[in-house]
Homo-oligomer: A and B are copies of this chain.
């Protein structure tokens, strides 16, 4: 076995060479690569002058907040819901989430509001809470979903807890999918929670499998209908990582009565979302089979990138007790845990060597990772060559930082 001090010196020299190389690499955000976007170039021009719907209405003109029937049907297949439960929005499901929370704020009233946040999770969910002064409470994430015993205990003890953020399939960043049992328990949580409790079910990676037979997520809205709690479910999704990241369409599904209330809320601020783009997406993706075929083409581009990252981690870090990570079957991220207290150091070392990573703590409410150990890797955007260079830097930083801490 190499002497640790010799290995430390070797890694330091390697690190210095990376710094000298002046790299500029970015593993921060889950952005599709240009080749993935190319898969949807036919969206533009697909209408060929035909702008009328089956019901005779003209998508070019004003009106219709819930979206065009054809897109609601597509959304229903995408979200595992019924068309009449689905609203089709603009290019941002994040915006729908914000608007829904804003809508609820007027119903929840002026008392302090709290949300449960399975951690690690998605920073933009946490930003919405911070915006509305909603207190966030961390809940541990297990392989089969959030710690449901803890969720149940917390909501039954504190009526100020009005919501929970979930990314139920290929969770951001942990990559796990909630089990059928977790989905069923989550569907029923409103029964023990205070009034107007909402499960924000951000199914961002609904169709984003990295393997041919991806994870199967049970329909929470169907389970909630059976349990009589459909009003508590707010499902979300979008085509942002299906077609164009910045120019897709978004979906929201809930009970029919809650959808109606949300539509009325939105009618004070808009006349309707972009229906022309909704029709483009219907013509382009067609139905769930069309989406499946399209996502298989994404997989061909994305899978080798995940494989590269995992191979690098395996080769350089396996068996060293310096990091643990997941091998996701879908989604956009690999979540890596360093030894406690080292994530900030590793991320700033990588930055020094020209590799930008998601800021330390970003996957936790208030940007505070209590153990300072979670790092989110986003492999989709760079090309394979750049990704390889970035990973060489990254594994060097992990090992060097771990040794530096060990040999102090």
A91 to chain B, nearest CB (A): 5
Given A31-B62, A51-B37, CB of A246 within 8 Å of CB of B270: no
Any chain B CB within 8 A of the CB of A389?
no
Any chain B CB within 8 A of the CB of A45?
yes
Given A37-B51, A44-B45, CB of A270 within 8 Å of CB of B62: no
Stretch at the interface among A73-81, A146-154, A274-282: A274-282
Residues of B within 8 A of A92 (CB): 270-272
Considering the chains assembled together, what is the distance between the CA atoms of A90 and B98 in angstroms? Answer: 16
Any chain B CB within 8 A of the CB of A358?
no
Q: How large is the interface on A (under 10, 10 to 19, 20 to 34, 35 or more residues)?
A: 35 or more
Chain A, range 15-48, C-beta contacts under 8 Å to B: 29, 31-32, 34, 37, 40-41, 44-48
Q: Is the CB of A276 within 8 A of B61?
A: no
Chain A, range 195-211, C-beta contacts under 8 Å to B: none
Given A51-B37, A271-B94, CB of A280 within 8 Å of CB of B44: yes
Interface centre among A45, A240, A245, A276 (most CB of B within 10 A): A276
Residues of B within 8 A of A44 (CB): 44-49, 276, 280
Any chain B CB within 8 A of the CB of A95?
yes
Chain A, range 82-114, C-beta contacts under 8 Å to B: 90-92, 94-95, 98-99
CB closest residue in chain B, given A33: B61
Q: Is the CB of A60 within 8 A of B37?
A: yes
Residues of B within 8 A of A124 (CB): 271
Q: Is the CB of B37 within 8 A of A58?
A: yes
Any chain B CB within 8 A of the CB of A273?
yes
Residues of B within 8 A of A47 (CB): 44-45
Considering the chains assembled together, what is the distance between the CA atoms of A101 and B247 in angstroms? Answer: 25
Residues of B within 8 A of A90 (CB): 90-91, 274
Contact with B along A176-198 (1 / 0, CB 8 A): 00000000000000000000000
Considering the chains assembled together, what is the distance between the CA atoms of A47 and B247 in angstroms? Answer: 14
Considering the chains assembled together, what is the distance between the CA atoms of A45 and B60 in angstroms? Answer: 15
Q: Is the CB of A61 within 8 A of B245?
A: yes
Any chain B CB within 8 A of the CB of A131?
yes
Residues of B within 8 A of A45 (CB): 44-48
Considering the chains assembled together, what is the distance between the CA atoms of A62 and B91 in angstroms? Answer: 10
Interface centre among A91, A240, A247 (most CB of B within 10 A): A247
Select which of B245, B247, B274, B280 is within 8 A of A246 by beta carbon.
B274
Select which of B99, B240, B268, B272 is within 8 A of A131 by beta carbon.
B268
Any chain B CB within 8 A of the CB of A321?
no
Residues of B within 8 A of A130 (CB): 268
Residues of B within 8 A of A64 (CB): 246
CB closest residue in chain B, given A42: B49
Any chain B CB within 8 A of the CB of A128?
yes
Residues of B within 8 A of A342 (CB): none
A92 to chain B, nearest CB (A): 5
Contact with B along A57-69 (1 / 0, CB 8 A): 0111111100000
Any chain B CB within 8 A of the CB of A54?
no
A71 to chain B, nearest CB (A): 13
Any chain B CB within 8 A of the CB of A8?
no
Q: Is the CB of B276 within 8 A of A127?
A: no
Contact with B along A115-146 (1 / 0, CB 8 A): 00000000010011011000000000000000
Any chain B CB within 8 A of the CB of A244?
yes
CB closest residue in chain B, given A46: B44
- Point out residues on A near B: beta carbons under 8 Å: 29, 31-32, 34, 37, 40-41, 44-49, 51, 58-64, 90-92, 94-95, 98-99, 124, 127-128, 130-131, 240, 244-247, 268-277, 280
A-B contact pairs, 16 of them (CB 8 A): A34-B58, A44-B47, A59-B247, A60-B247, A91-B274, A94-B270, A94-B271, A95-B269, A95-B270, A98-B269, A124-B271, A246-B271, A246-B274, A246-B276, A274-B274, A277-B277
